[in-house]
Amino acid sequence: MDVAIVGIGIHPFGRTPSRSGLQQGAYAARQALKDAGIEWSDIQFAFGGSASSGNADALGNELGLTGLPFINVANGCATGGSSLMAAYAAIKSGEHDLGMVVGFDKHSRGAFNANPADLGLGNWYGEVGLMLTTQFFAMKIQKYMHDYGISNDTLAKVAEKAFENGALNPNAWRREPVSAEQVAESMMVNDPLTKFMFCAPGEGGVALIVCRADKAKNYCDRPVYLKSAVLKSRRYGSFEVFAPSQALQQVDGPTVDASRAAFEMAGVGPTDIDVAQLQDTESGAEIMHMAANGFCEHGEQEHLIASGATRIGGSFPVNTDGGCLANGEPIGASGLRQVYENVLQLRGQAGEHQIPGDPKLGYTHVYGAPGISAVTILQR
């Protein structure tokens, strides 16, 4: 049983003082229902998540209490990808024909403030500063740059591209271009990462309507099909965010495992992908995830990014909506934003940030603490 996406909705990312996180989720849900030409009462099940704005199933108070099974999902930054994978499995199993996936959040300003105990860690981990993830990400990209010859200029170019794309996306938070020079010269947060190289906690909501593929044309003229949806967690020996130690013998991380499984399930390879949305919590993450997802060898990013390959008009467009850097990171919605963007691209409806040509395959990758990766491959 194949699965299709037949409706999409989004609440603009950024800061919206007049709406709660839950209301932003409801806004996105209503958009998705309208896009599919259906009513909330038609939905047979829902999966959804939010980290800071309450239980997603409280959307019933906004949309209507219909008695449907609504399952709350919490999986860090991979919450949206996890929700979509669960919905994908529910339809593949034949249990349901039509459902909704929704994510939303409204985070306070400032850095995320995770509790070590929630991740099975002692207080010492926070006392030495590693719960402040900017420090972990800086250390990880420092080592990667040393090992594979990635320059500071490349970090800045990733952020420059993100803000260029965000300026073209009406739903992005950061709508002003920032040059690579401005990125490099902005305040140092944790060496080598400057202020403009990090995403920020934000607000937003995204909803998707999914259904059995053989019924997709009942709801829209241009359905997009989920060829694969895979989630993997870390194995012993992979070095992930909130890891309390580093094993002597390293193994591939969950992104590598999820990517390989997704390509195998979809029956395609990295060279078949026309557009990709990759987790870019900070500039270094996008660089590392290009290789971890199989799109290049380690170290090749230096040339690819310098050549413009990852820009909207390049041979391999990455984070065409501006990614987390330009949109911010509302945890519940972020992974679904990637899917929303790929559906727009495959429909040819992305407007000013539409990639050229006739894209047929889109790829999303989201990464969450403490070492969870979710990958989807979408086909028009």
- The per-residue pLDDT for range 112-160, each reduced to its tens digit, is 778 888 888 899 988 888 787 888 899 999 999 999 999 999 999 999 9
User: Residue 359 has which token pair?
Assistant: 């894209």
pLDDT at res. 77: 84
Task: Kindly list the structural domains of the chain, giving each domain's residue range(s) and its CATH number in brackets, ordered by start.
Answer: 3-109+199-379 (3.40.47.10)
Task: Give the separation between CA 359 and CA 347, rounded to whole angstroms.
Answer: 9
pLDDT at 244: 83
Residue 81: which of 212, 214, 228, 200 has the closest Cα?
228
DSSP 39-93: -GGG--EEEEE-SSS--GGGGHHHH------EEE--BTBTHHHHHHHHHHHHHHT
User: For position 84, what pLDDT does the model report?
Assistant: 95
Backbone dihedral angles phi then psi of residue 140, each to the nearest 5 degrees: -65, -45
Show the low-confidence residues of the chain (pLDDT under 70): 111
Cβ proximity of 103 and 336 under 8 Å: yes
pLDDT of residue 32: 98
Q: Which residues contact 18 (CB under 8 A, 6 or more apart)?
A: none
Can you say how many angstroms the Cα of residue 215 is from the centroid of all Cα atoms in its chain? Answer: 27
pLDDT at 154: 98
Tell me phi and psi for residue 24, to 5 degrees: -70, -35
What DSSP assignment string belongs to 344-359?
HHHHT--GGGPPSS--
Residue 104: its pLDDT value, please? Answer: 97
> Residue 78's pLDDT is what?
86
Q: What is the pLDDT of residue 320?
A: 98
At residue 96, the pLDDT reads 95
